[in-house]
Structure 1
Amino acid sequence: MTTTIFKKTLPATLLLAALCSAGAAWSKDGVLPPETLALYGGRWSTDCANAAAPALQVLEDTLVVQRGKRRIVGRQPDTAHSFFGNQPPPPNFDVALMSRVGKGDDAMMNFLVFRDARGQSITLKADKPVVGQLGPELMKSRYWRCDGPARAAAPPAEPAVAAKPPAPATGSPAALARGPAMDKAWRAALGTRENDRWLVRREGPAPEPQWVTVDGTRYVLHAFCKPHDCYDHNAIALYDQGSGRLYGLVQRNGRNQLVGSPSPQFAGQLDRLWREQWRAKN
């Protein structure tokens, strides 16, 4: 008895449908069609306004990742709307642009396109060998579309943070003048090379410290001089308790020295206060 075995052949139309349902079939000529380029072609970047920022290129026959001199090229590009298969895609997912960086089954470099209120953006997904070429920084970045009508809007400006006003000046001027905060500010303004004892320590005869207001800011005014030589060796120091700023004027042997890098306008105020302390009364 002869047994005949019949083999069923899957029709070509059903085979094509099965391939398409699993993802995208690679294009026959390895190029993206014009309608795909119109939607996704051109330059994408982490910062479209910065030509040196990491960038992507979606071209007819290649997908390119570039940062500086590093350039990774994926060939035979194609698209896949069902890239995630039976799993739900991430929010705002649009399409995957797929390419091969090299031969083999683990050489895929994919551009995952998303669309939200700001515009279109891409994140990278690649096989492990390609991830090694790209590096973690390029892999974790988001790239915004820079070309075409669907280019991404500029990121919103950071809201301006109002400067916190300094605390109002309070307390006893004499206590503040001898306190550690003003002493530290004075020594820092003088610099470490200054070693004149009366000047560094603000020792010697001194009028009572007082509050003065200069350009709307309240300062502690501390005037002091070298013992037994007040006319030719004297100084004033102005300390802003709120900000910690300190300015001063020192006279030694008829020569004046500004302390704390005051502006020219403020230097004029220092000169006026110095004269009130050491010339009007002496």
Structure 2
Amino acid sequence: MNTPRTTWMAPGLLGAALLLLCTAPVTWAQSKSDDKLLHRYGGVLAPECGNYLLPQLLYLGDSLVVREGGKAILTGRNAKAAPTHFGATPPPEFEAAFTSEVAGSGAMVFVFYRNASGLFAVVEGGPKVMAAVPAALKGRRVRHCDPNRSVAPGTKPPVEIGPTDLLRDEKFKRSYVQALGPLAKEPWLMELDGPAQLVKKVQVAGNEYQLASVCKNHDCYDNNMVLLYAAASQTVYGKVVQRGRAVLVGAPPAPVAAELERLWKATYRSGK
């Protein structure tokens, strides 16, 4: 007679299996929740998004980072959402908070706010953490650098361009090549494909310019440039550093030359 076979499992293994079955949906749900939070808040926040050397906050999902000079100076591990950070009565515009632990320094928190201007965050923490936070970030809301996350609900993100986009404008390219003169033979200056900031509008000496900055791939410190382009007059002024030597291009007037120097220092020598 054939006797039905029964698979036996040790009580400890059976308990572990049941525990895994029970916790798996919770873990999966938590992962989905974390992904949504990262999609909504993840990325860089800064007082000036165009310059990675200036202080920044980074929410990376599992960690919170304070960065300065392009390097992490505080890293909070095991980041977790803290929706009740302010208790039952959160302040106006509060949207989310994330807590973390900085080794040897205690808790660090990023508090996110949203208003008609976009998405912002403030860093909070204990005395050791706040002592290490750069002055530009202390007690100050800084804006999310991703326009798709920072834009106010229902508002279309602004169109943003980089230096390579300027080269597609034949009027700019003609004026740019003329301003460069002999430097136009340098590939990195003609391709503008190195590390760069987004082009933005600035006012200099009463005129509107587009400000662009770019440096040479793998040799940013000694080969870099800031330039100002006035589309109305098709005028290009700039400061180019080539192999550590600086030269002004486009013959800028004194007030513009002074502003180019200030912009160059802020972009490439902010730590000096």
User: After TM superposition, is the score higher than 0.5?
Assistant: no
Q: TM-score, normalised by structure 1?
A: 0.37
* Structure index of larger Rg: 1
Structure 1 or 2: more helix by fraction = 2
TM (normalized to structure 2)?
0.38
